[in-house]
């Protein structure tokens, strides 16, 4: 019996092992590896699982950075980010497949040059560091041969893509049409009408007219909706008086931060390193003779002044060989050459920042605030669990305020609220997301404080009673009636202008706007009037325009071509040309990539794709 029982047990063991093998098929040390190494292929070119994982991870991180917080994978799929990543990788694979078919490749020297140009593989001496190279590849799960093959195919792909998109011309007619449209100039006359142009003053409104205005413009008399929210909160500032700070602690803090208050002499320094001392001395001789300045030498070495900038340095920031020479200068000037760990260097001192000492009494109050703030933050952090336990035990926000140092309050919260606790972004985010029935929970504020909130009431937008806003109704009716009558008067005056009368004949004060582009700006002139002038088609044409609640007459005086002599026009033409060229090149690239995909054939492994997605859920 014991024997039979043992055989039965062995059978079950093998069954379990078999199920495990089936369940784990396609997964290995990489999280995906084993037999499944790709999510699909285009022709002979595979799309590796790890490439898809990394590309998707980067896309999600970018989306989270833009959103300002974490997003779920469901949201990622709703935004179509996973589809966009796959489409990009499919396009890349199609191009790489075509380079293999065409036999496009690059030699080892090009691959080496590309690798040496990658900053992550450089050491402290700015040279290639093999250990950094191996470490970086290990973190990415790549062997050296895999990475170098990847560099080779990517470089070859770049050659193919450049051959397709470089040298694409932009249609000259299209470029000139857009340039003319944007840079065209117009001169026009504009006159503002006021009540003095009316034949009679505006009469008092009747009750019926006021009621009609009130009913036709409800948006002007509607009180916006809001959320009535109760909250309990505590901030470090609220606890300052509760925190004890003795003199000894303040003096200890002053000593700990002595670098801030007792700063040695510093100098603003730039450093330029040379391969040899002879070259550094030759450069110094040219500077001293006036044949070149420091910036010229920097540029000759293919660098910028930003590359040479060391910022403000103390004596301790420099090597023993350099510090005495640099700090011996009485003012701005050149010192060196001196030996550094990177080679002989010239130093340019641009300014001297004198030593600075700030006494304890000068910063005592600031130190007390800093220390009290830090202690208050720790105090709040230490009591965080107590606040949560009270809420979990059934305490209300009001109970929190009675039993702890938290303070309670209520706010009629709107999206643009910024007063009090609504000045904190964390509170606004929570208030926007709050729904009826949400249980209050402790959340953090930006300054180390905490809060909890509760939705008491959703107060909808409300049309205020007529009697409560009658003054605003009268003012609104009068403004609308004046605009209506002025617009009618303006139409009459426009007809007289068209018949040959002048602005002076009509008794209007006119402003002459000369040679302005459609994107131009005139101080004191509403921008819509410029758009109105460019909407006119023939010189001498006049129209009535309303802007900022005022009525204007606008007359087109002259249509002028772009000023071809200005650098701005040429820059505009060049920008339009480049944008058009890039757009056409992108379209060519898209069509070409689609054709390659259709010819090579796309195969996608849904199971592998879903396996990758599981890592983000």
pLDDT digits (tens, 9 = 90+) for 406-426: 999 999 999 888 889 999 999
pLDDT above 80 for 18: no
Higher confidence at residue 20 or residue 498? 498
| pTM greater than 0.75 | no
CB 542 within 8 A of CB 554: yes
Determine the average pLDDT of the residues in 18-40.
50
What are the strands, taking DSSP E only, across 387-506? Answer: 407-413, 443-444, 450-459, 462-463
pLDDT at residue 265, as a whole number: 80
Note the pLDDT tens digit of each residue in 542-592.
999 999 999 999 999 999 999 888 888 899 999 999 999 988 988 888 898
| 51-55, 256-260, 265-269, 351-355: the lowest-pLDDT one | 256-260
Note the pLDDT tens digit of each residue in 174-216.
999 999 999 999 999 999 999 999 989 999 999 999 999 999 9
pLDDT above 90 for 230: yes
Q: What is the DSSP string of 151-188?
A: HHHHHHHHHHHHHHHTTPPPPHHHHHHHHHHHH-EEEE
Q: pLDDT category, 22, cuts 50, 70, 90?
A: very low
Note the pLDDT tens digit of each residue in 125-148.
677 877 778 877 777 667 788 788
CA distance 19 to 15: 6
CA distance 116 to 107: 15
Torsions phi, psi of 111, nearest 5?
-60, -45
pLDDT at residue 461, as a whole number: 93
CA distance 534 to 183: 12
3-state secondary structure of 513: strand
The single-letter DSSP state of residue 32 is S
Torsions phi, psi of 388, nearest 5?
-65, -40
3-state secondary structure of 344: coil
3-state secondary structure of 501: coil
Q: What angle do CA 177, 180, 186 make, to 5 degrees?
A: 145
Determine what percent of the chain is predicted with pLDDT higher than 70: 88
Q: What is the DSSP string of 278-306?
A: HHHHHHHHHHHHTS--HHHHHHHTT--HH
Q: pLDDT category, 168, cuts 50, 70, 90?
A: confident
Cβ count near 449 (within 10 Å): 23
pLDDT above 50 for 255: yes
Determine the average pLDDT of the residues in 458-472.
95
pLDDT at residue 529, as a whole number: 94
Q: pLDDT category, 464, cuts 50, 70, 90?
A: very high
To the nearest whole number, what is the mean pLDDT of the chain? 85
* Sign of the Cα pseudo-torsion (403, 406, 411, 413, in order): negative
pLDDT at residue 24, as a whole number: 36
CA distance 283 to 279: 6
| 282-286, 362-366, 422-426, 572-576: the lowest-pLDDT one | 362-366
């Amino acid at each position: 019996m014991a024997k039979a029982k043992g055989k039965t047990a062995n059978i079950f063991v093998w069954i379990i092992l078999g199920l495990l093998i089936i369940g784990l098929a396609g997964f290995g040390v990489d999280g995906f590896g084993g037999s499944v190494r790709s999510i699909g292929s285009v022709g002979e070119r595979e799309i590796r699982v790890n490439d898809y994982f990394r590309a998707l991870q980067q896309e999600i991180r970018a989306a989270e950075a833009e959103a300002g917080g974490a997003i779920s994978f469901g949201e990622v799929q709703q935004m179509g980010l996973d589809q966009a990543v796959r489409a990009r990788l499919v396009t890349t694979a199609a191009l790489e497949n075509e380079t293999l078919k065409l036999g496009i490749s690059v030699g080892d020297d090009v691959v080496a040059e590309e690798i040496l140009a990658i900053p992550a593989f450089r050491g402290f001496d700015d040279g290639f560091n093999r250990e950094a190279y191996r470490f970086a590849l290990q973190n990415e799960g790549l062997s050296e041969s895999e990475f170098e093959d990847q560099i080779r195919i990517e470089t070859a792909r770049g050659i193919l893509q450049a051959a397709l998109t470089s040298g694409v011309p932009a249609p000259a007619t299209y470029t000139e049409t857009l340039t003319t449209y944007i840079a065209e100039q117009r001169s026009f006359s504009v006159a503002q009408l006021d009540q003095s142009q009316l034949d009679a003053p505006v009469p008092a409104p009747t009750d019926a007219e006021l009621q009609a205005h009130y009913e036709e413009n409800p948006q002007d008399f509607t009180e916006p909706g809001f959320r009535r929210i109760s909250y309990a909160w505590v901030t470090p500032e609220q606890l300052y008086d509760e925190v004890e700070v003795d003199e000894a602690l303040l003096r200890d803090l002053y000593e700990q931060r002595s670098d801030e208050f007792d700063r040695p002499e510093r100098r603003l320094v730039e450093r330029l390193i040379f391969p040899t001392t002879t070259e550094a001395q030759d450069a110094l001789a040219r500077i001293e003779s006036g044949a070149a300045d420091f910036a010229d030498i920097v540029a000759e070495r293919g660098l910028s002044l930003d590359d040479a900038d060391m910022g403000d340095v103390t004596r301790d920031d420099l090597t023993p060989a350099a510090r005495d020479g640099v700090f011996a200068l009485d003012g701005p000037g050149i010192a060196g050459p001196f030996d550094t760990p990177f080679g002989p260097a010239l130093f340019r001192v641009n300014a001297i920042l004198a030593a600075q000492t700030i006494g304890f009494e000068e910063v005592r109050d600031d130190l007390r605030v800093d220390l009290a703030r830090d202690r208050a933050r720790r105090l709040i952090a230490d009591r965080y669990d107590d606040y949560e336990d009270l809420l979990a035990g059934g305490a209300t926000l009001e109970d929190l305020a009675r039993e702890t140092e938290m303070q309670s309050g209520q706010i009629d919260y709107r999206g643009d609220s910024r007063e009090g606790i609504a000045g904190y972004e964390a509170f606004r985010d929570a208030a926007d997301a709050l729904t009826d029935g949400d249980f209050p929970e402790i959340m953090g504020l930006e300054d180390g404080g905490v809060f909890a909130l509760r939705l008491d009431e959703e107060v909808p937008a409300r049309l205020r009673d007529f009697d409560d806003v009658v003054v605003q109704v009268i003012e609104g009716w009068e403004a609308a009636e004046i605009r209506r009558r002025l617009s009618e008067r303006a139409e009459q005056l426009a007809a007289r202008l068209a018949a040959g009368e002048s602005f002076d004949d009509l008794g209007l004060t006119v402003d002459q706007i000369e040679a302005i582009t459609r994107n131009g700006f005139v101080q004191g002139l509403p921008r819509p009037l410029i758009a109105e002038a460019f909407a006119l088609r023939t010189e001498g044409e006049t129209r009535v325009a309303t802007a900022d609640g005022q009525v204007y007459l606008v007359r087109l005086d002259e249509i002028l071509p772009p000023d071809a002599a200005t650098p701005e026009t040429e820059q505009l033409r060049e920008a339009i040309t480049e944008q058009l060229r890039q757009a056409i090149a992108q379209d060519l690239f898209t069509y070409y990539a689609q054709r390659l995909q259709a010819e090579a054939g796309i195969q996608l492994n849904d199971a592998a794709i879903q396996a990758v997605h599981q890592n983000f859920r």
